[in-house]
Amino acid sequence: MPKVAVFNQVTLDGFFADAGGDMTWAHRQDEEWKAFAEQNAKSESRLLLGRVTYELMAAFWPTPSAATLAPVMAERMYRQPKVVFSRTLDRAAWNNTVLIKGNLVGEVRGLKGDPGPDMVILGSGSLVS
């Protein structure tokens, strides 16, 4: 049975962003972080994303800038299976993405019952909650 893991960066007091929504503190690109991200990019998993995280990632990872800054991650993000949960999106056009508009808990339970890779939630604070 596939497992669900959460991969997030939060402040010590439990916030994803500052009062103005800024998250730049979580996007430093030192060598240790880059090595960690690239190692984890090699694992097989299905990404579970909320709408906001999906829109941020879909706007960045398919770009030439992403391919230049983090080629291993950009390629992996392109081909990795993705599931986006949203009540407001009409479609999810990013490669290899399925849009689910229904019951989050029931859908995740169903995914856990299917054969397949483990799942990872990236960001998506509302989804994690």
Q: Could you tell me the CATH number of the domain that includes residue 48? A: 3.40.430.10
The region, left, alpha or beta by phi > 0 then psi within -120 to 50, assigned to residue 120 is beta
Assess if residue 18 is contained within a domain. Answer: no
Assess if residue 67 is contained within a domain. Answer: yes
At 40 the pLDDT is 63
Model confidence at 93: pLDDT above 70: yes
Give me the number of domains the chain comprises.
1
36-71 pLDDT, tens digit per residue, is 666 666 667 889 999 988 998 999 999 999 999 888
**What residues have CB less than 8 Å from 50, skipping those under 6 apart?**
84, 85, 86, 123, 124, 125, 126, 127
Q: Is 97 helix (H, G, I), strand (E, B) or coil?
A: strand
Q: For residues 18-40, give the mean pLDDT.
A: 69
